[in-house]
Amino acid sequence: MVSYTRVRSEGLGIKNKGGLMQRSEPIIITVLSALICGISSHFIGNRVKYILPSNSIEIFETITIFTLLTLIMAILI
């Protein structure tokens, strides 16, 4: 959606230079985070969860890798 918004605004003559990422970086981060998540789940398993012993809140799963990198990407766009 960000790419589409930038293209439309540039087509209308509006300079849209906000954010630290261009059009290709979000795609690269998404692909890399999916690969890292898939590889880590292969080696450490899909069901590995690190749980705090005091209140049984899950603090890490293999999908957390994808989620954290997506959060960083959303902030940098």
Q: Is residue 30 part of a domain?
A: yes
List pLDDT tens digits, range 43-52.
Answer: 776 665 666 6
What is the domain count for the chain? 1
List pLDDT tens digits, range 16-54.
Answer: 776 677 778 888 888 988 898 888 877 776 665 666 677
Q: Is residue 34 part of a domain?
A: yes
Q: Is residue 61 part of a domain?
A: yes
The pLDDT score that the predictor gives to residue 2 is: 63
Q: Tell me, what amino acid is at 72?
A: I
**Between residues 59 and 21, which one has the greater pLDDT?**
21
Q: What's the domain range around 26? A: 20-76
Q: Is residue 48 part of a domain?
A: yes
**E-strand spans in 12-73?**
50-51, 58-60
Q: Is residue 2 part of a domain?
A: no
Q: Is residue 12 part of a domain?
A: no
Cα dihedral: 49, 54, 57, 59 (round 10): -50
